[in-house]
Amino acid sequence: MADEQNHGGGQHGVLRRQPGARAALLTLTAVNLLNMADRYVASSVKESIKRDLQLTDAETALPMTGMVVVYMVCAMAFGIIADRHILNRTTIVAAAVVLWSMASALASLSHNIWQLVFFRSLVGVGEAAFGTIAGPMISDLYPPWQRTMAFAIYTVAGPIGGALGYGVGAILASSFGWRAAFLMVGLPGVAAGLAVLSIQDPSSGRSARGRLLGDGEDRPMETRGVLRDFGRIAANPHFAVATLGLVAVNFAIGGLADWVASFLQRYDGASLSSAGLMAGAVTAIAGVGGGIVGAKVSSALERRTHNAAFLTAGLFSVPAALMGMLTVNFVGSQSVAYASLLAMQVCLWTHLSPLQNLSLRVIPLEMRARSAGLQILLTHVLGDVISPPIIGEISDRSGSLQTGMQVTWVMMFVAGGLWLWGYACLPPLPGSSCSSDADATAGAGHFPATVWSLLHDREFDLSDAETSCGSDPSSAPSSGDDHYREL
C-alpha cells in the first residue's frame, strides 16, 4: 500500500494501473461476451418461438422487453449498493453472472409466453448488476489516459457476444429446436461467474490523478440523498447529451437486434440458420472493426480538438443511418443486405468506448456506479425497451415489418445530431485537447501495441508524457477527474 501511494500520490509521481488489472480486464471482457450472447439468443430464434408458441409479432417482443425493464430498474439499485460499498463489487458481479446464466438455461423449459418472459426477466437482474458495476471497476483499474483503450477492449466483446448468440442460437435451433439454444448459451456462464471471484475489487479512484489517487477507500462517503444525487448527475451537460444520444441509438440497436433476423428471412429470402449466422458474423466483424476505429479516432482527435468523443460518435452516426436506410429499403438481395448491414454496424459501434469513457469521466468518483445505473435506466426505458414492441405493433397494424423497421435509421440520425450538437455547443472538457503518449500511440494506428501495453503491467511516469499542452508534466490531462470531483 505504501509503495503504491508513493508512486501515485504526487502530481509528478508514477501513475500505474492497479495490481491485477490485466486479469480483471480479460475476465470482465469474457463475461461481457457471454452477457451479450445470453441477451440476443432469443432474437435469433424468434421465428421458431413464434411458430411453437403460436404468437403474434408483438408478443414475440415481450421476452426482450421484460428482460430490459427488469434490467434498467435493478441497475439503479445496484448502482446505489456499489457506490455505498454495501457489498463487495466482485461478489455482486459473480452472483449476477451465475443468476443470469441459470435463468437463461431455465428458459428452455418454458411452455408459454409468460414463462419465457419470467425467465428472461431474471436474466435482466443479473445483467443489471454486471452492467452497472463493470464500467466503474475498469475506470478504477486504469489511469485516465488509458481508459478509452481499456473500454475499447471491453466493449468489443459486446458485438462479438451478440454475434455468438445469433450464430449458436441459429445453428442449434435449426438442428435441435430453440430450447437447446437457450440451454447451451446459458450454462457456460456458471463457470464464468466462479472465475469472477478471482478478481480483486479495485479501490475507487486509485487510478485517478493527484489527490484522488490512493485515497478512494479512506475518504468518507458524501451523502446528499438518492434523488438529489441522481439529479446532480443528470444535470451534468456532457452526461446528459451523451445519454440522450445513447437513448436514440439504443432505440435503433434494440429494434435491429430483435428484428433483423426475422427481416432477413421475410424480405431477403434467408433461411433461419443463414439469417442467424450471417447476422452474427456481420455483428462480430463490425463490432471489432467499429470498436477499434472509434477508439483510435477518438484518441487521435483528443490531441486536436475538444469533446472528441462527441465528434467521433456524431460523425459516424450519419453514414450508419444512411446504410440503415439502404438495408431496410433495398430488399430482395442477400448480398446487398449483408454488405449494407456490415457498413452500418461498423459505423454504429464506433460510439461505444469514447462515450462510455466520457460518461464516467465527467462524474465524481463516489457517484459513478449510480451514474452508470441512471444511464442504463434512461437508455433502456426510452430506447430498446420500447423499440421492439413498437416495431412489432407497426408490423401487425400495417402488415409490413419493413414499415416498422424504418424507425431504426431515423433514430440513428437523431443520435448523430445530438452528439454533433454536444461537440459544437458544450464547453471543452479539461485536458480534452491534449493527451499523453499512451493515447497518442493509440490514435497513431498502433492498436495491437496499445492493447499489449494495457494487458501487461507497466508504470507510467507523468514526467515522460509530452502533450500539446507543453512538456510540463503538471499540465498532463486529468480526464476530468479533478475538475468534476465536486459536481
Q: What is the pLDDT of residues 27-38, one digit of tens each?
A: 999 898 888 888
Question: Whole-angstrom Cα distance, residue 109 to residue 115?
Answer: 8
- Tell me if residue 223 falls in helix, strand or coil: coil
Whether 390 shows a pLDDT value over 50: the answer reads yes
* pLDDT per position as a tens digit, 392-416: 889 889 988 999 999 999 999 999 9
Task: Please report how many Cα atoms fall inside a 13 Å half-sphere around the Cα of residue 472, on the Cβ side.
Answer: 3
In one-letter notation, the amino acid at residue 452 is W
**Average pLDDT of the segment spanning 273-284:** 76
CA distances from 186 to 41, 78, 105, 183 (A): 10, 22, 5, 5
Task: Tell me the per-residue pLDDT of 118-174, one tens digit each, with 9 for 90 and over.
Answer: 998 888 888 888 888 888 888 888 877 777 778 878 877 887 887 788 778 878 888
Q: d(Cα 194, Cα 353) in Å, to the nearest integer?
A: 27
Note the pTM of the prediction, 2 decimals. Answer: 0.65
Q: How many helices and strands in the chain, by DSSP H and E?
A: 21, 2
Q: What is the mean pLDDT of the chain?
A: 77
Closest CA to 7 of 15, 457, 21: 15
pLDDT of residue 242: 94
Confidence (pLDDT) at 317: 95
- Which among 374, 382, 378, 380 has a CA at the least distance from the CA of 76? 374
Q: Is 195 exposed, middle or buried (CB count within 10 Å of its CB: 0-12, 13-18, 19+)?
A: middle
CA distance 331 to 458: 51
